[in-house]
């Protein structure tokens, strides 16, 4: 007797997912072994003083800022774009010369063109590939040096010919990994003694309270000339759901999200169009053919029109930063649905500017269904989100200016209320 076709399909899908899980685990082990070998520092390096204001040029317009970045392809991508936006502000508004040090292999000429195409003020900025010990040893002096990812913080820890060392923290990066070797390596960087530039107050509180750091909070914003509700094209019959999908990024909760979306498609059929962007992947590899249309990684300038064509924007985030997607989706008039995450409720307010669900398949499905069924009734929630972003999070200039003032004189910043929390980096490591 042959098993029912549905059972065979279920078994095939389960085997495919088990294989994907095993491959992901093996990939983690492989990467963790390499990171343990090559991302390293000594106890002596941890004891060294990291801040040297005496090396900083008194004239701000003669200062040089070094940005330590991982290799990247897209200058318009989330965290990279925020780094470049701040660098452009320092150059354009304060005269600080910028240099980008890529911690790995890259084509400096090609990368320089990408950076300049994103921000014209950075067209003349030098790009250097730190792809050998000799390149690291020959790094020119700088007044400011900024780590932008936990791996780059290890490189900056070794640098001696700089004045102020900063750490641009755009998420709680230890949570990018299981609790283990790589988690520990990432978490240690918050004890290096760098001045923090934290993307949101949640990360500011973590860095100052838990790690005793001195920091400034960068308030996220969106470019409202691009992201706005003007000319929305969302239809009146068939509902469209945008889903920010990145299967290889655990913090975006892909597994829970697609389980909920599969049930949503089963219920509404052709009455709902589910489109995904954010990464290139094939729906059939996850049993999601005829469920989700994958648009891949879109050009930055194409995303606002996509958002304006959608009724609901679905974004999952399990770490300490809400990502820029909810801001952009709200600005374009979408009703945002996300998972409840206490670290992000300073912005995402359930029933006020979005809908939040507990992180279970059924709860997420029910919340998405509510967003579709009661879309018109929830107009006030949707408009509140749009109004909040356009009025409170549409001014990059004010946020960048506050960060720039901190960078010019971080040693004058007021200590946190915990009096450095008795968490001096060296004392905790010894």
Same domain, 321 and 417: no
Residue 30 lies in a domain: no
Contact of 309 with 40, CB cutoff 8 Å? no
Distance CA 296, CA 288 (A): 15
Q: Based on the domain organization, do 385 and 411 belong to the same domain? A: no
**Which pLDDT belongs to residue 415?**
57
pTM over 0.85? The answer is yes
Q: Which long-range contacts (CB under 8 A, 24 or more apart) does 184-189 make?
A: 185/35, 185/36, 185/39, 185/150, 185/154, 186/150, 188/429, 189/147, 189/150, 189/153, 189/154
Query: Residue 245: inside a domain, yes or no?
Result: yes
Q: What is the pLDDT of residues 104-121, one digit of tens each?
A: 999 999 999 999 999 999
pLDDT for the residue numbered 27: 82
* Cβ count near 303 (within 10 Å): 21
CA–CA gap between residue 377 and residue 239 (Å, rounded) = 15
120 contacts 91 by C-beta, under 8 angstroms: no
Q: Is residue 31 part of a domain?
A: no
- 215 DSSP β-pair partners: 196
- In this structure, are 212 and 286 located in the same domain? no
* Separation between Cα atoms, residue 17 and residue 287, nearest integer Å: 9
Judgement on whether residues 326 and 400 belong to the same structural domain of the protein: no
400 and 386, same structural domain? no
CATH number at residue 291: 3.40.50.2000
Q: Give, as one character, the DSSP assignment of residue 93.
A: H
Q: What is the CATH number of the domain that holds 56?
A: 3.40.50.11090
Report d(CA 90, CA 303) in Å as an integer: 27
Within this chain, do residues 370 and 412 fall inside the same structural domain, yes or no? no
**Is the CB of residue 67 less than 8 Å from the CB of residue 101?**
yes
CA distance 163 to 142: 7
**SS3 state at 101:** strand
Same domain, 403 and 369: no
The pLDDT score that the predictor gives to residue 429 is 37
Percent of the chain that is helix, strand, coil (3-state, to 5):
50, 15, 35
**Whether residue 123 is found in the same domain as residue 211:** yes
User: Which stretches in the chain have pLDDT values below 50?
Assistant: 1, 11, 14-15, 18, 417-430
What b/e readout covers 248-270, taking b as 16+ CB neighbours within 10 angstroms? Answer: eebbbbbbbbbebbbbbbeebee
Residue 275 and residue 261 share a domain:
yes
Structural domain of residue 350, as residue ranges? Answer: 239-392
Residue at 290 is within a domain: yes
Q: Which helix (H) or strand (E) holds 162?
A: strand 162-169
- 8 Å CB contact between 173 and 154: no
- Please tell me whether residues 388 and 402 are part of one structural domain: no
Q: CB burial class (10 A; 0-12, 13-18, 19+) of residue 203?
A: buried
Whether residue 35 lies inside any domain: the answer is no
Question: How many independent structural domains does the chain possess?
Answer: 2
Q: Are residues 182 and 68 in the same domain?
A: yes
Q: Please check whether residues 56 and 169 belong to one and the same domain.
A: yes
Question: What pLDDT sits at residue 162?
Answer: 98
């Amino acid at each position: 007797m042959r098993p029912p076709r549905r059972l065979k399909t279920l078994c095939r899908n389960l085997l495919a997912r088990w294989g994907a899980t095993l491959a992901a685990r093996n990939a983690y082990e492989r990467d963790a072994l390499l990171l343990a070998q090559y991302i390293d520092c000594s106890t002596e390096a941890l004891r060294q003083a990291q801040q040297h204001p005496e090396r900083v040029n008194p004239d701000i317009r003669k200062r040089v800022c070094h940005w330590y970045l991982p290799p990247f392809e897209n200058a318009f991508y989330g965290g990279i774009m925020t780094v470049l936006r701040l660098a452009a502000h320092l150059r354009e508004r304060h005269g600080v010369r910028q240099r980008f040090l890529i911690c790995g292999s890259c084509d400096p000429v090609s990368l320089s063109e990408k950076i300049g195409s994103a921000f014209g003020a950075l067209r003349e900025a030098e790009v250097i590939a730190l792809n050998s010990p000799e390149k690291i040893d020959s790094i020119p002096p700088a007044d400011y040096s900024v780590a932008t990812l936990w791996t780059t913080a290890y490189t900056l820890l070794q640098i001696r010919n700089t004045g102020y060392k900063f750490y641009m923290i755009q998420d709680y990066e230890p949570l990018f990994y299981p609790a283990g070797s790589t988690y520990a390596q990432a978490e240690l960087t918050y004890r290096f003694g760098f001045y923090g530039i934290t993307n949101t107050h949640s990360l500011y509180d973590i860095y100052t309270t838990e790690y005793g750091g001195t920091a400034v909070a960068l308030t996220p914003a969106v470019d409202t000339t691009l992201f706005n509700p003007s000319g929305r094209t969302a239809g009146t019959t068939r509902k469209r759901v945008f889903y920010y999908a990145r299967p290889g990024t655990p913090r975006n909760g892909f597994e829970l999200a697609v389980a909920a979306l599969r049930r949503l498609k089963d219920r509404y059929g052709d009455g709902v169009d589910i489109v995904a962007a954010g990464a290139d992947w094939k729906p059939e590899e996850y049993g999601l053919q005829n469920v989700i249309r994958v648009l891949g990684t879109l050009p930055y300038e194409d995303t606002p029109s996509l958002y304006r064509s959608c009724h609901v924007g679905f974004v999952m985030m399990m770490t300490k930063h809400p990502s820029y997607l909810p801001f952009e989706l709200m600005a374009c008039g979408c009703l945002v649905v996300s998972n409840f995450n206490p670290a992000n409720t300073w912005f995402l307010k359930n029933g006020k500017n979005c809908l939040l669900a507990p992180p279970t398949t059924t709860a997420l499905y029910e919340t998405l269904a509510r967003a579709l069924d009661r879309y018109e009734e929830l107009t006030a929630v949707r408009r509140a989100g749009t109004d909040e972003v356009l009025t409170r999070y549409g001014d990059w200039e004010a946020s960048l200016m506050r960060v720039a003032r901190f960078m010019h004189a971080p040693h004058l910043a007021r200590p946190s209320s915990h009096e450095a929390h008795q968490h001096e980096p060296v004392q905790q490591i010894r």
